[in-house]
Amino acid sequence: MTGGGAQTVESRRVEAFGSSDPARLQVLAADPDSRVRLFAAGNQSTPPGALAVLAVDPDPVVREAAGGNPLAPRSGRAAAGLLND
């Protein structure tokens, strides 16, 4: 998992929260810091494939954020436990 080379954790968190670049958010979704992944999970520019991965993240808060993202694929919402059917 790489989050951005020499960038600080704080700068990656800010970027994950505010970025509109799907390619960069794909990278940030694999960051070792759970808060970076949380912010990527909640970002509406994060690609559906990254959201599906985040929906099975070890951190339950990240999983919930990914499953609640409107762009999350149905499989991601199901993996996050947010579907009842």
Instruction: Give the tokens for residue 20.
Output: 């509109």
Contact status, residue 26 vs residue 47, Cβ threshold 8 Å: yes
Global pTM exceeds 0.85: no
- Output the CA torsion 3→37→63→72 (10° steps): -90
What DSSP designation does 6 have? Answer: T
pLDDT tens sequence for the chain (85 residues): 444 457 999 999 999 999 999 999 999 999 999 999 999 999 999 999 999 999 999 999 999 999 999 998 877 666 555 544 4
Contact status, residue 51 vs residue 27, Cβ threshold 8 Å: no
- Tell the burial category of 25 from Cβ atoms under 10 Å away from its Cβ (0-12, 13-18, 19+): buried
